[in-house]
Structure 1
Amino acid sequence: MAEKDIQYYETQEDKTKWQSTKEFIWNPRTRQFCGRTGISWAKIIIFYIIYYACLVAFWTVMLLVFYVTVDSNHPKWKLDSSKIGSSPGVSYRPSPPEKNVDSTLIWFRRGNASESKYWSDSLKDFLEPYQVEEGLKECDFGSTRKPEESCRFNLNSIDNSCSSSQNFGYDMGHPCVLIKLNRIFDWEPKPYDSDSIPQNMPENLKNDYNSSYVYISCEGENPADKSNIGPISYYPSQGIPNYYFPFTNQPNYLTPFVFVHFQNPTISVLINIECKAWAANIKYNKKERLGSVHFELLVD
């Protein structure tokens, strides 16, 4: 090859980082901004405007369909057709502190105001909505209520031993524990027939059974627990009147409950307690905790 046919190319000097950055931001030779020409930027901007507009339109339509098919006041699936089912759970208050969220132990020392304060304050907070009386109906077995009305739960009918003025007995070591049924929309208790009363129902409930109530009973789980639990009282009564049901998301609805008063539990002994709810349509399974609730009580 002749020397005159050889072409020599000059290599550009290495650019500094700052020069490369400036050229990336704006390249005067190619008239590119951040690696794209004006036409390229216009195309990509128009594409994403159309893309996100379609996404917004799609999800807007989906939300509209959702709100059209769902009633904000009534669930679409209820009782047996729902995941919750038709057998209400049982729960208790006061609950242990959040730091012990997995615990079911109520533990305090008699006469220790700082320890008993948590438990009594927890009950006071739970009962605060029950102080409101406006918009509530005075219900009894001789009257009927409209579906949109809520019954008043009268705290004055509860014995003074389980009152806030006595700190619910925690100061004296005779604690009160609140037992309630969890809300299930449209659920109503079904009474036992005379031939279907469970054999394991406490004798006092069998003898005085009234089909107008859902009954609550608490006892020690094991023989040692039964001997250590001591005498128990229930306030305002051992049964929850049926006129509080069903719950249909009515305004100001107050969940009815029973206060269980442990009058003299054995000191410094851990007591395993199980509380059950009694109605023909409340399923009971100890292993799965259906129809009952378990907690431990330790008074030092």
Structure 2
Amino acid sequence: MADKTKVAAAEQYYAPPPDLGKWESFRIFIYNSETGQFLGRTGSSWAKILLFYVIFYAVLVGFFTIMLVIFFQTLDNNKPKWQMEGSLIGNNPGMGFRPLPDTDNVESTLIYYKANDKGSVLKWAKVIDDFLQPYRKKGSGSGETAGAENRVACTPTAGPVGEKQVCDVPVDDFHPCTSGNQYNYEEAGPCVFLKLNKIFNWVPKPYNTTEDLPGNMPEDLKQHIKMVAGKPESNTVWVSCEGENPADVENIGPVQYIPRRGFPNFYYPFTNKEGYLSPLVAVLFEKPRTGVLINIECKAWAKNIVYDRYERRGSVHFELMVDRS
């Protein structure tokens, strides 16, 4: 009798759960009134797991915050931690040009327009106007215009005096490369603005004497350096623009550099002072051959600027095509 009772108890203990339908099983999973479980857990079980995750994520957020605070303690808001050779950009400034073509094709470097088409001219003039807007701000402001009151007129013999002062770039004096003249685009002799990329604490070493001039430097630039050698204005990062190929040399025509043939040393070094703007050179292509695509390369010349055409170091490439049809 005792054995039969044990067998019956065992059969009852291992009895399979009742066969429930899908909806009934789902209802019991949502809330089981017999066990008091909600989604398979009791209230105390849910409280324990929620408490665990609250503590876990609180510790995680605290650790991340402490790491950020320690990281920001190593940074200086006014200057980069890694400079010159120790930085990713190095100590060899690149060049840029404006106006840039439409952003629809970021790989394009072609400046193409019709000189007798008012809309085409105004399109490029507006692009340059937008680029030069920070240079025209004379009062205090924010963003790119912040610190405009710190800008002062500089000459090769008179640079900034005050600790916060920076040299102004008087773009409205770049005649005929001015907004009122639509940057000479309507005259089929467009202006293209050049700039050096900013590198913190970089100081150019200019070719200010007739000695050690590079053999690949254009002859007209060599003659210009010889005329100003030893004078204050010779302390300049020189600029030259030429056609890349023999056909381009024939088609490019006369070139002017406004207001001077390079970036004067009194604009350097860049130390992130409020109001600082990169110096500009307006290159006036007086009479480029119309209806022809011209490949142009502009170079920056200084003893500590390395030139490499294939990697575009110390130079910039763009194409120019002026149409009159």
TM-score bin (small chain)? over 0.9
Alignment partner of 2:206 out of 191, 194, 206: 191
In structure 2, the residue corresponding to 1:208 is in which secondary structure? helix
Letter in 2 for 1:26: Y
Is it true that 1:205 corresponds to 2:224 in the alignment?
no
Partner of 1:158: 174
In structure 1, the residue corresponding to 2:104 is in which secondary structure? helix
CA distance in 1, matches of 2:279, 2:178: 16
Residues 11, 26 of structure 1: alpha-carbon distance in 2 compared, 3 angstrom cutoff: closer
* TM-score (ref. length: structure 1): 0.92
Judge conservation of contact 1:185–1:248 (CA < 8 Å) in 2: yes
Please list, as runs of the form range in 1=range in 2, the aligned pairs for 1:83-162 lying within 5 A after superposition: 83-133=88-138, 134-145=149-160, 146-159=162-175, 161-162=176-177
Partner of 1:297: 320
In structure 2, the residue corresponding to 1:171 is in which secondary structure? helix
Letter in 1 for 2:312: R
After superposition, give the CA deviation of every residue in 1:59-78 in whole Å (9 maximum; x if it has no partner): 11111111110101110111
Letter in 2 for 1:74: K
CA distance in 1, matches of 2:158, 2:294: 42
In structure 2, the residue corresponding to 1:170 is in which secondary structure? helix
| Cα offset, 1:109, TM superposition | 1.3
Which moved further from structure 2: 253-262 or 208-217? 208-217
Alignment partner of 1:268 out of 291, 309, 312: 291
In structure 2, the residue corresponding to 1:289 is in which secondary structure? coil
| Cα offset, 1:20, TM superposition | 3.4
CA distance in 1, matches of 2:193, 2:100: 10
Judge conservation of contact 2:150–2:164 (CA < 8 Å) in 1: no
Aligned residue pairs total: 297
In structure 1, the residue corresponding to 2:186 is in which secondary structure? coil
After superposition, give the CA deviation of every residue in 1:154-204 in whole Å (9 maximum; x if it has no partner): 123211x21111211222321110011011111111023542211222223
Partner of 2:273: 250
Alignment partner of 1:51 out of 51, 56, 59: 56
* Stretches of structure 1 lacking an aligned partner (at least 5 in a row): none
In structure 2, the residue corresponding to 1:162 is in which secondary structure? coil
Letter in 2 for 1:298: M
Please list every run of at least 4 consecutive aligned residues from structure 1 whose deviation after the TM superposition is greater than 4 angstroms.
3-11
CA distance in 1, matches of 2:254, 2:156: 30
Residues 166, 106 of structure 1: alpha-carbon distance in 2 compared, 3 angstrom cutoff: same
* Stretches of structure 2 lacking an aligned partner (at least 5 in a row): 139-148, 229-233
Is it true that 1:288 corresponds to 2:311 in the alignment?
yes
In structure 1, the residue corresponding to 2:297 is in which secondary structure? strand
CA distance in 2, matches of 1:269, 1:152: 37
Letter in 1 for 2:180: S
* TM-score (ref. length: structure 2): 0.86
